[in-house]
Amino acid sequence: MPLRFDILTLFPEMFAPVVGTSIPKRAAEKGLVEYHFTNIRDFATDAHLSVDDKPFGGGPGMVMMCQTLFDAVDFAEKQDPRPATRILLSPQGQKFDQAMAEDFAIASGGVR
């Protein structure tokens, strides 16, 4: 069974060209991986399809609406019976490097 990548984003059309080239494309062609895109905005519940709101307690900027994001993640995880590994991209997160890639490969049943 191929490794499944679910990409949840407000801009799914940006990712198709990336996974459709080079190494990601070859991996998909060999049946090693599958890529699935979920538009978070599809889970918005208001007329404007809003996905963000002002931070609770005030302050500058905007934050993602919790329920909208939760519903998108829940939908994606229900598409595959295997347990999910969630990777959230953030400037405050750990740097993705070769060691982390190897850890993910081992956890998914891949080999070094």
- pLDDT tens by residue, 15-58: 999 999 999 999 999 999 999 999 999 999 999 999 999 888 88
List domains and CATH numbers for the chain.
Answer: 3-86 (3.40.1280.10)
- DSSP at 41: G
CB neighbours of residue 24 within 10 Å: 16
Structure tokens at 35: 């890529």
- Residue 5: HSE in the Cβ half-sphere, 13 Å Cα cutoff: 19
Its pTM stands at: 0.83
- DSSP at 43: G
Summarised one tens digit per residue, pLDDT across range 71-96 is 999 999 999 999 898 988 888 889 98
